Amino acid sequence: MFARIPNYVLTTGAIVAVIVLVGLYDNQRAPVADGSVGLVIGVPANQLMTQSGDDIVLPVVLRLINRSEKEEALEAENKCKIFRFVVTTPQNEFIQAKRFADDCPTNTTYGIVEANSVIEQIEAVRLDASRYVPGDYKLRVKFWNYEGEAEFTLVTGN
């Protein structure tokens, strides 16, 4: 049955399944204290180093959680700075960061996260395969100027 399904459909289905499982796992924990706003990052613990061209696609679940009783205003210098990331080794040696487009508009971007609610967004972070070897890495993220961190391991297929 699976022999007739194209590889890209199977890969997309696998990524969606991983994201759902990470989201369900993260939902069971209370990473943000009552009365505050915080960012929770979800990534697969082990990411295959399969490539799409020269990239390794790392699915990232961003959950901006507001556990307070009032809405929180969000502001970013421009739409390109809503989501930013840096990848380092466990020893904090720089590997890669998100580069901004030269044509990014200069208008300030605004948003809100309602009281006692969550904004969830999924990003496909493209890692430059030439910069990575199998091993452990840290992903540091800024989303609407809230910071979070997650660790992941790149592994080779069998």
pLDDT above 60 (res 28): no
pLDDT-based confidence at residue 52 (cuts at 50, 70, 90): low
How far from each other are the two terminal CA atoms of the chain, in whole angstroms?
22
Domain formed by 2-155, architecture:
Sandwich (2.60)
pLDDT-based confidence at residue 92 (cuts at 50, 70, 90): very high
Q: What is the pTM of this model?
A: 0.76
pLDDT tens profile 63-87: 999 999 999 999 998 888 899 999 9
Domain-by-domain residue ranges, the chain? 2-155
What DSSP letter does each residue of the chain carry, written as one string?
A: -GGGS-HHHHHHHHHHHHHHHHHHHHHHS--S-TT-EEEEEE--SEEE---BTTEEEEEEEEEEEE-SSS-EEEEESSGGGSEEEEEE-TT--EEEEPPPPTT-----EEEEE-TTEEEEEEEEEEEEGGG--SEEEEEEEEETTEEEEEEEEEE---
Is the pLDDT at 119 greater than 80? The verdict is yes
Residue 121: per-residue pLDDT:
94
What's the CA dihedral at 22, 27, 28, 29 to 10 degrees?
A: 100
